[in-house]
Chain A
């Protein structure tokens, strides 16, 4: 049983489509691993469906006919079979061992497994691989931390979402396992430590660059800033 989930507000924004895509990606990755939140989102989607079906458009009949003809023309024009035509995603049982352990939402960003990503080593026991830099300034990345190691002490301006993909870590507030979804604000000042039994991989979504606050790790701040998209934006 997972102990950390997105809030109901966040699931509602996910279902209604107003969450930023970076945050929505983290929520969707959590849904891959959490039956309870999947049920919750299903119900929220039902509500969206009911509200949609109560909508009435006032467009004149002629405009709707023109639109319909255009849809029919477009489907006939599609060469058959088109590459755009949807195929069902492969069931996880058909996937290689490498990919099966990656949540379905993330597979398109990690097509050849964790090992083939471009990892940047920040310390001998701590690596980071960027999956996407959003033009809004959000950064989506994976963290890889060796068993038993501590992540450098850090704070951040803006929110940070951490989703455990494998292994486990703990901080002052508790123990977090695969599937756990943790959202922290900028006032948090924490030092996660990975449990000794296994390496830990986490998905992180940052609103703004991470800051390392230890005496030694101040060294990393310029590096992290260098790789953060907001530097490029402005």
Chain B
């Protein structure tokens, strides 16, 4: 397909000596086609090309253009053009027919203008010239000849009022001149395409009336069609393909694309190139599928189901991002197409089910579109409200507005690209998305080499990012990730870092948007900072790591192998000494302890060491550390410390933090020096003995939670529970070792409470809150362990939440523990910490003030320290 063509040339279509269509420059064309000696014979034929009309349009002032466009905005006009093109391509008759509406108006306007200008000449033109008229016809045929299917020449034809415009369509031309073989073939193929399409749809309709199992007939697919319908489908596909290939290989697509692009530029001066691909896909694929679906739903589905479908469609159209994301996932396109790397990465991940890819893409996409979604919604609200009684034209008008809003969104997405490239993956405000993490560790196997990640769309080759498109206030830049290149002029830098910036950033090609220095932000952990940067470089093909680092989970293991001090282990041999870590920007000398708004870590140097460069060589290449002492005097906070401890306070806990910050173990858990267990330990459950209620979200049977520690232990109502032999220390250890990589909960949830009304259940509240965070707010992400391996939290949030509550009740088989270390059970006192006084936590009492944020930290983040705070 030839969609994006350079339309700067003023070429006119003609035929060469052997009848093959070719383009000639405007001047040359008119020189050869000098009509000055032509004599009209009873009618006037003026040659006004599309290009002339467009030139005339370009001369118009914006106001005049608006008037000219019947008040349509640029975007509306552009959308109209797309529709016109598609319509033009889809019409049964010649595609050389003039498009209706604005485009035709433009030509009409241009022609009338030219007519006025040429009027004196016309008066001088001899009246009688039959022979010349024949020549004129030849000229017209030449202009339209060959494959000039869509090169429209507007001519007043004989028998019409002077100046009246008609299109020089194929029928009129055929009366005046013989068809070229190319054109005849084109028309034949097109006619065959249309005929087979109609027969296919008729056969589909016939199937509906003769076959009972309607469920097998709905949808795009052809399975379970009747044999006759399959035959019709085969013929349709064959004709469709032949027509497409002929068109593709002819000049017609190029002509249409050129014209469309010119028109687009007239109305949208800063527009990118215009593509005809959507129109082609529409004609050859989507139109038929849409017609078939319409046929199916209108003729086959019971009215009730049809109405239900309409309601579902309406609700989905309420959020254009849903359809867009579904489209992205269905097409399996990369980030370049998806507009954001993470979306594309999710969409293209092989081996995942659609639901997971969709869920992941929505998470990645959600915050991206959040700000603009309200605008989209406003527009779609209007459309939804009157859907069904709206004529097609009005509906298209709404669609135009939606498209315009989508284009606005697109600008946000463009801006996000920079952030995406900087962050590698995390566009959703979440620290990073676990599933993307999985993918990225596999990425090198899937990446085309040498394209700088373009294959995955991180750097769209066809759409260079314009830095001016970045929306500074965009909320989607992951916290802790800069949208700037390594020269972090805006960020406060330590003296050491400044030296690095001056030396290193100058060596960094601007095209390689790797982070050399990382200005530590609140919430960062060093391991995550390094991990993210390595992922990004792997995606871009700019990191050199051994194969064992590429597999699932391999990168994390490799990091620990290269830097054992990243682990929580006590008997390890660190790769770097505290002094060396200081050289790399970790002011404390302890990689588990970094300070935000103070430390600027040289991640590039760390990665070089990971890649195998000798430590000494790497460190020697760094500027001298001169003012390290200033660092410890900083008033900055511990990175990731959510309690806003001062530096001094934090340092008191340094030994504790030294074992908690890495690999996203629960951050503050070890702050507690209390020997008392915070989680009562329970026995192996017998879930079948747990009383059941119906799940609000499915037909599953849900077991009520045991109401207390005592009841768990003693009440036969919940079955006998054996004493758990897991001691307190082991549970605490299990919490420490919990891998919460990827877990993120935004500030919004800190301190969040909910007062129950006695009606709403705990599961419902949690489900709603988490889904809102995942899909609407974009400020919540589950840990990787819940969305990788055998777990698919995103695919069944309600089910997993229920599982988690079962775990807390002890009503779960030990092998099924997902959220918590085995044996973790809450007693009534624990539930009261979260504000629930009910005997049955699943059904809180009215007035119970539930500590939502605290519970999320506990359940998703594995932070059992929250249980210590019973305020």
Instruction: Note whether A and B form a binding pair.
Output: no
B→A interface (CB under 8 Å): none
